[in-house]
Structure 1
């Protein structure tokens, strides 16, 4: 039976909107920078979508929760978003169980889940459906992968593709759904954009995986695909911080090249957004530009042993923002900038074979 939570459109209030704006600043400087570039009608829903995903991520990452608790709260939150159960029940049950591993801003976010959900339930049916689908696929997929976390790595590149879809590709699909709902002109290319959006998400996620190799290992996880490194003669079981094995570095090069190929698709996606929608283009371009710069740092320093060593500087972020904003409407210029900034990255086709 469909509950009243599902069918009602709940008016949002200024306190909830102010909270959403504030907590975005606290949980993600990057998204707090990019989301305001969006058109005013998209800014609230995409900001809310990010917070929903961040709540799922908080549940999955808190090492104080058992596997059973993680799955329980993930399933519970999926039902909260779809309106089957009240958000207060979720927040009151989870908040006291969070560990110090979870940052204070995320503690605050969980405590104030009802405010976030009130905003979620204020959107139109198409927007709510897109958010609900994303949270459901992401939550179920991340819970499944948490059960098989280990230092052995993922079985193969196909497993990495599936993981990236659950944590990032589905977000690209959600954004495309929201963009298409916002603009009929964007919606005319929806089918093509949907496929490219999954690739866009994978490029960003692979960049994060490569940057966070050593931080992930500290908590017992490795998202690198075994087959890519086995082809180079390297066993991920032998992976240690500070390793200088050229076989491992060559495996990294293949993954960097695959990420680059996905980011090239991200540029194609961005250029399919009408040039008059400069705000949406900036939203995409800033994430794309920072990912390319991060891949460059990883590529130049393949023996890094902590993420801070390959983190791009604030100056680089500012330069990316300035340049892509100036060129946001000019496809030919964006193509040239991508080619120039990624010229030193390995060339690998989307299947992971060198070309």
Structure 2
């Protein structure tokens, strides 16, 4: 699982690097070639080491260079089947989707508004989140299934919600990183939504409560399925349940931080990164709920109540948004 995560981080680094889309496309192609033939990593990483990776931290750049990256590919080469085939398949899909999103391939349509690249509509938003995170949901589920040997009913139930689980985490990050992405000339929130508020968020002029709630409610609906995913996991899969809760609870807390400061949403003060103290509390809560599905359900219900109450205004009551 750790190897799969780090390979996904390599793809994230390529996408996050502030290089032209054509440059990124070449790196995605080289990544896919290393999946097919890991021994290419020595040559490819040596080449990458001479490339510029603007926008990445020093630690992120190490993963793209021989010293930090080559051990990862050596471990990948030694992973037994069928786990290695799962990693190869889903990271290949992820790479193709990320590369395709740059050139409107894979069915993803984009628009430009005042120099900002936008996904065209909600379907494109969902497809993008599938490529970069729903695929990770599939990959993690398959690897967990190989390890824990879930029965057929559990495996099918997990596969039914694993995409939404990944999409929900990605959409949480899209809300959190809206300003950061905008500075790179990108908005992953779709043109279809942004035109409803005359593109005000693109100039960090805020947005109406109804529109902000629409964005948050869309994320929340995905996180409901993510909670169902965790609830489906047998108590015997303690390690994977803990890891899943440690993805879900910080996403919940990020949304809570956003709605409690809703007047700052999509403005120049849009900043919703949870504190280390909150992250530590998520860890403690995850441990306490690891074998308590009732507590997980109550946590989810409390979150939804806080979100709905935060947006209850006369305007909202006249134009309710169903989640």
TM over 0.5, yes or no?
A: yes
Name stretches of at least 5 consecutive residues in structure 2 with no aligned partner. Answer: 104-109, 310-319
SS for the counterpart of 1:153 is strand
Match of 1:318 among 270, 277, 280: 280
Match of 1:337 in 2: 299
Alignment: residue pair count: 300
Alignment of 1:78-93 (within 5 A): 78-83=32-37, 86-93=40-47
Match of 1:120 in 2: 76
Structure showing greater relative contact order (alpha-carbon pairs closer than 8 Å, 6 or more residues apart) = 1
SS for the counterpart of 1:97 is coil
Q: Once the two structures are superposed, what CA deviation does each residue of 1:159-186 show, in whole Å capped at 9, x if it has no partner? A: 1000000000000000000011112225
Match of 1:227 in 2: 192
Deviation at 1:190, TM superposition (A): 2.0
1:283 equivalent to 2:278? Answer no
Going from structure 1 to structure 2, the CA distance change for 1:353 and 1:85 (only over 3 Å counts) comes to: farther
SS for the counterpart of 2:185 is coil
What is the root-mean-square deviation of aligned Cα atoms in Å? 2.2
Deviation at 1:265, TM superposition (A): 0.8
1:60 equivalent to 2:22? Answer no
Match of 1:190 in 2: 155
Deviation at 1:188, TM superposition (A): 4.4
Match of 1:41 in 2: none
SS for the counterpart of 1:189 is helix
Q: Is the 8 A contact 1:172 1:201 kept in 2?
A: yes
Alignment of 1:27-176 (within 5 A): 46-63=1-18, 65-83=19-37, 86-111=40-65, 112-147=68-103, 148=110, 150=112, 151=116, 153-176=118-141
Name whichever of 196-205 and 134-143 sits farther off. Answer: 134-143
Match of 1:207 in 2: 172
Q: Is the 8 A contact 2:97 2:131 kept in 1?
A: yes
TM-score w.r.t. the length of structure 2 is 0.86
TM-score w.r.t. the length of structure 1 is 0.79
Q: Once the two structures are superposed, what CA deviation does each residue of 1:162-220 show, in whole Å capped at 9, x if it has no partner? A: 00000000000000000111122255422221120100011101100001111101010
Deviation at 1:60, TM superposition (A): 2.1
Match of 1:42 in 2: none
SS for the counterpart of 2:55 is coil
CA distance in 2, matches of 1:314, 1:59: 27
